Amino acid sequence: MDRPIRSLALWNYHESLNRGFMLNNRNVTIGDDLLLPIVELAKALEANGVRTATLDMMPDGEFDACLFIDMPDMTNAQVKRAFASGKPLYLLALESPLVRPENGDPALHAPFARVFTYNDALVDGEKYVKVNYSFEIPQSLPKVAKEKLCVTIAGNKKPKVKGGCKELYSERIRAIRWFEEHHPEDFDLYGVGWGRPQLKLSRVLNPFKLVKILNAPTYATYRGTVERKRPVLSRYKFSICYENVADVPGYITEKIFDCFFAGTVPVYLGAGNVTDHVPADCFIDKRDFPDYPSLYRFLAELSGERYYDYLAAIERFLQSDKAQAFTCRNFARVISGEILNQGGREGEPLMSRTRE
């Protein structure tokens, strides 16, 4: 018999976001409002009489169910406690296959009553429920004079490629290097990890670290880090906006929406089915251009009238019913609705806690 859920524990794979952090903060260092969907989900549940807290803030017996944000580390003591509790478990799979390939592995999902995912290849409307990266969508675009042609704001990361994914980190660097070589006057780069590391005494005394620092690549167009993305993005006509991984259906992150909200036209590369979710006239599809010279010519020669057509299309999309699927309100409605309506129905028994 189903049991009513009156308290929900949450646990984030990124463990620094636990201890209540993700329920009380909208922002993290890598982006604006990235935790807002979780905050809004907690509000929606609490409005329906469900108390929420991170798992490490809830003693044994005080939670009726547990929601994991991304597949957890099964060696963690808190995770073991939740799995051993016999309480219903849910999974919110947000990270890309590069970071957490386990998110997309159905063989690991048996313990979960529901899996909430962006991955259109898994969604079946039953166990696998569609949710998107979600945002607080503005009513209008900022009207800011454009100072320069193109920008990229991204972290310089080189994660190990897992699960046969097609990573796009190298393609992003290829774009940056092309602009630096051919049109540095039209391009700026911002983000963490692109500058040369600071020389510290410990590194100077370590010859291996010193050689690595001295040989680190430099980027002539690098302009530093940003406190908030939108004010910087809004000064540019276009942004090189690539996901970290290609061709994962439905994997559409904050990167393209950051551009939309800033009133900047994205040059997008990522989800192969992006136009199932975002109209094609809202962005420039990198797949339409065989090389960077042809892309640059298009950007540089685009008429003012055609450019404003893109901005008008973005504004129409953000005000449309289709964009509602990317709102925090929809995110909270879908997940809270499934948990509340499902009651205490449990997943299948956990057969194996680790991958072979």
Residue 347 scores a pLDDT above 80: no
Q: pLDDT > 90: what percent of the chain?
A: 76
Average pLDDT over residues 116-145: 94
pTM over 0.85: yes
Q: Cα Rg for the chain, rounded, in angstroms?
A: 22
Tokens 């929900």 locate to 8
Average pLDDT over residues 241-256: 96
In this predicted structure, what is the pLDDT of residue 163? 57
Residue 350 scores a pLDDT above 50: no
Average pLDDT over residues 140-159: 90
- What whole-number distance in Å separates Cα of residue 325 and Cα of residue 130? 9
Pairing relationship of beta strands 284-285 and 245-246 according to DSSP bridges: unpaired
Higher pLDDT, 350 or 25: 25
Tokens of 340: 């509340």
Closest CA to 156 of 200, 231, 216: 216
* pLDDT-derived band at 29, boundaries 50, 70, 90: low
Residue 280 scores a pLDDT above 60: yes
CA distances from 26 to 36, 46, 136, 335 (A): 5, 17, 11, 18
Average pLDDT over residues 324-331: 97
Higher pLDDT, 11 or 356: 11
Task: Name the β-bridge partners of 152.
Answer: 189
* pLDDT-derived band at 335, boundaries 50, 70, 90: very high
Average pLDDT over residues 157-184: 87
Q: Which CATH number fits domain 148-322: 3.30.460.10, 3.20.20.150, 3.40.50.11660, 1.10.287.1080?
A: 3.40.50.11660
Average pLDDT over residues 122-134: 96
pLDDT tens for each residue of 68-84: 999 999 999 999 999 99
In this predicted structure, what is the pLDDT of residue 121? 96
User: Do 7-136+327-342 and 148-322 have matching folds?
Assistant: yes
In this predicted structure, what is the pLDDT of residue 193? 87
Return the domain boundaries, the chain.
Answer: 7-136+327-342, 148-322
Residue 112 scores a pLDDT above 80: yes
Tokens 């975002």 locate to 278
Top CATH class, 7-136+327-342: alpha beta
**Chain-wide mean pLDDT for the chain?**
88
* pLDDT-derived band at 349, boundaries 50, 70, 90: very low
Low-confidence winner among 126-130, 193-197, 207-211 (lowest mean pLDDT): 207-211
